[in-house]
Chain A
Amino acid sequence: MRKFIVNILLFTFLLLVVLNIIATILLNSPKLLFTISDESWLRIYKRVISSQEKIKSDTLYIGDSVAGQLFPYNGKNQLTSNGAVYPIGNYILVCNAIKNNPNITTVIYLGVPRVIGRKIERTRTCNNFIKPFLTVDNIKYFDSSLFDKLNNKKLSYLYFLPFYRFLPISELDFSDTVRKSPYLMDEFAIHWIEKMMAFCESNNVKLILASPPVAKSLRKKSNNWSAMRKQIKGRKCAALFRVYFRTINYLPDRFLKDRVHWKKSYLTKHRPKLIEHIYKSIRGIRNIDREGAREQNSRFNSTR
């Protein structure tokens, strides 16, 4: 029996070493990884890889899934994803992109108000933030605010082992039972938006916060986002949000596909106008790659 247990333990140890080596190779060979696996977290990991590659454009677009309806992910300068990537995940994308592409002069971070300030304690966090972003390479970007969160779910530290995210048992529910108003931003989100702001400033890059279109009914429900406006008053990111609230384009609820996203039929007709609305509302801020964005979107329309 002893020999059996010893062999099991020894094999398990060797297995973990081998799996870690293979996982590291796979994570550094994205083409191979994306061919052999279609796990949902890899869709976000693709954005991480793209952020480390050459980007010709001087404008980077990041944001949530509604932003992705206007500026869909293109593997180049449009790295939109979803709301469960959070400001912290988008911060990492921005840091990678700017470090590897000194030509970037502007970052446009798009997110609807109810999503941009969401708390990280949600079920979707595992596949959209933890698995793609919690790597040893990204430790340099993290601070105590994240580690405080991770300490509440100590199993999440296992994700620093490359192989762990490939295990079927690796699904971790990050949600908690604390209910928060959807019209108030989480402090964690504000902290990472401010970090993003500071990083961009130190690299002479203009960060613009903007909103994709929002349902008209929400304007009344949120009392014109009065709670959010009050929350960020006097904060470092106040100026960012002054512009942000200006960019909100309210559309009739009947064009909604679900509670947040817009009908494809509506977007096909109105995407250029919706994008133009965003550009107009951030007019005067440093030049953005509008031609590049238009070209991307016309290609997007023709392929969809």
Chain B
Amino acid sequence: MIIFSSLIDFIVGIKLSKAESKRKRKLLLLTSISVNLGFLGFFKYFNFFADSFANAFTLFGTSFDPARLSIILPVGISFYTFQTLSYSIDVYRRKLEPNNDIIAFFAFVSFFPQLVAGPIERAANLLPQFRTKRNFDYSRAADGMRQILWGLFKKIVIADNCAIIVDDIFHNYSQYPGSTLLLGAVFFSLQIYSDFSGYSDIAIGTGRLFGFNLMRNFAFPYFSRDIAEFWRRWHISLSTWFRDYLYIPLGGSRGGVWLTIRNIFIIFTVTGFWHGANWTFIVWGLLHALYFLPLLLLSRNRKYMNDVAEGRFFPNIREILQIGTTFFQTTIAFVFFRAETIEQSLLYLGRMFSESLFSFPSVLSGQALISLTLIGLMVMIEWMKRDKQHGLQFDSAKSSKVFRWSSYVFIILLILLFGKFDETEFIYFQF
């Protein structure tokens, strides 16, 4: 599938370079979009639409059992499809010269570190790197190794330890008090961040070992002061993709208030939908649209462009409240992301915001306390490195080799002692 879809886009790129008429160019672009989104829609969303269609019929008092597909979702399809689409669109827009080297193009699409779960690379960034000679760079390779180590720590230690607690709480939510459900939601927010950003760190670090610079995908999003900043720091490759290829072509925020509102809802709905064929993801996206819209309409969406507490170690009270509020907003939304149905999400939240919210959480076992300690350590390290690319980035001139190597040993020790090495998948592999 990846070969066929890549071949289509490669040929479209070449044909676009030769086509002069606007109509023909549009037709070629449409071909690329149809093939890519067609495959994505077929493999990922067929059953969702079939079931939704059938459910809609029940409103009219009739029911039928729709045909369903029993096929495996091709791994990484949501990622490489968008990657090749960005190529076709950029060539169409004449922002990128079409590529004549089929080997380089296929290598760009199937580059192993980021194939299955991103970052969703832009052709303008990654493709030229396959065509230029790369020389070994010691500091880049060393920092790549550090980034891989940090990614492994986040995934194997933080995410997989959180997963044990989260799975138990979400599976048995009706038996736990609100305080425990709040803890479960918080743990899930940390799990999904550690899982996904951990994978991204491993992918980017691996790329750097091979001399490739992949785009940054996470910039410490939980230190954001508002939702707009959160979306500039969370899954950056996806949010910028939708901004450049959907939001701006739709008119962005330049067409008046109602057009802006429409575009925001479209973007966030599609973002939710991209994650999976379930109404819970759509609701998750819509919630974020509701969070984001006031900021955009009040022109406050670009208020926080620098790092929080820049030049200071401690945030002030206002920043703490802002970070806490933004984290709380995203945590509430993530309940929909994690739950299997909207009904479960609403029941979970309803139970969470009941009187039992003020009772003592019932899952503070040894496992939970160890996880909390490790999470605290991760947050502290990332806070200290919030102006860097990742949590283990060092300024070699300022830190001694002894200190750096001791840090690596410490992290490896934590991985060996507290890491979960059972076969738990990366969350974003399912997308």
Q: Across the interface, do B409 and A15 meet the contact criterion of CB distance under 8 Å?
A: yes
Closest to A17 in B: B409
Closest to A171 in B: B421
**Complex Cα distance A15/B407, Å?**
11
Given the known inter-chain contacts A4-B142, A168-B419, A168-B421, please indicate yes or no for A19 contacting B413, CB distance below 8 A.
yes
**Complex Cα distance A185/B417, Å?**
38
Q: Is A18 in contact with chain B by the CB < 8 A criterion?
A: yes
Q: How far is the CB of A139 from chain B (nearest CB, A)?
A: 25
Q: Across the interface, do B416 and A11 meet the contact criterion of CB distance under 8 Å?
A: no
**What secondary structure prevails in chain A residues at the interface with B?**
helix
**Complex Cα distance A272/B178, Å?**
46
Q: Which A residues between 23 and 53 are near B, CB-CB below 8 angstroms? A: 35-37
| B370 / chain A contacts, CB cutoff of 8 Å | 36
| B408 / chain A contacts, CB cutoff of 8 Å | 11, 15
Q: Across the interface, do A166 and B416 meet the contact criterion of CB distance under 8 Å?
A: yes
Q: Across the interface, do A11 and B405 meet the contact criterion of CB distance under 8 Å?
A: yes
Q: Is B141 in contact with chain A by the CB < 8 A criterion?
A: yes
Q: Across the interface, do B417 and A168 meet the contact criterion of CB distance under 8 Å?
A: no
**Complex Cα distance A110/B145, Å?**
52
Q: Across the interface, do A36 and B136 meet the contact criterion of CB distance under 8 Å?
A: no
Q: Across the interface, do A22 and B136 meet the contact criterion of CB distance under 8 Å?
A: no
Q: Is A14 in contact with chain B by the CB < 8 A criterion?
A: yes
Q: Across the interface, do B413 and A22 meet the contact criterion of CB distance under 8 Å?
A: yes
Q: Is A1 in contact with chain B by the CB < 8 A criterion?
A: yes
| A22 / chain B contacts, CB cutoff of 8 Å | 413
Closest to B419 in A: A168
Q: Is B64 in contact with chain A by the CB < 8 A criterion?
A: no
How many chain B residues sit at the interface, stated as a range, is: 10 to 19
How many chain A residues sit at the interface, stated as a range, is: 10 to 19
Q: Is B138 in contact with chain A by the CB < 8 A criterion?
A: yes
Q: Across the interface, do A4 and B405 meet the contact criterion of CB distance under 8 Å?
A: no
Q: Which B residues between 370 and 423 are near A, CB-CB below 8 angstroms? A: 370, 405, 408-409, 412-413, 416-419, 421
Question: Which 5 pairs from chain A and chain B are nearest by CB?
Answer: A168-B421, A1-B136, A166-B416, A18-B409, A4-B138
| A18 / chain B contacts, CB cutoff of 8 Å | 409
Q: Across the interface, do B416 and A167 meet the contact criterion of CB distance under 8 Å?
A: yes
Q: Is A3 in contact with chain B by the CB < 8 A criterion?
A: yes
**Complex Cα distance A7/B413, Å?**
19
Q: Across the interface, do B417 and A37 meet the contact criterion of CB distance under 8 Å?
A: yes
Q: How far is the CB of B408 from chain A (nearest CB, A)?
A: 7
| A8 / chain B contacts, CB cutoff of 8 Å | 145
Closest to B422 in A: A168
**Complex Cα distance A7/B405, Å?**
10
Q: How far is the CB of B423 from chain A (nearest CB, A)?
A: 11
Q: How far is the CB of A120 from chain B (nearest CB, A)?
A: 25
Q: How far is the CB of B405 from chain A (nearest CB, A)?
A: 6
Task: Enumerate 10 A-B pairs (CB-CB under 8 Å) in ascending A order.
Answer: A4-B136, A4-B141, A4-B142, A14-B405, A19-B413, A19-B416, A22-B413, A36-B370, A37-B417, A168-B419
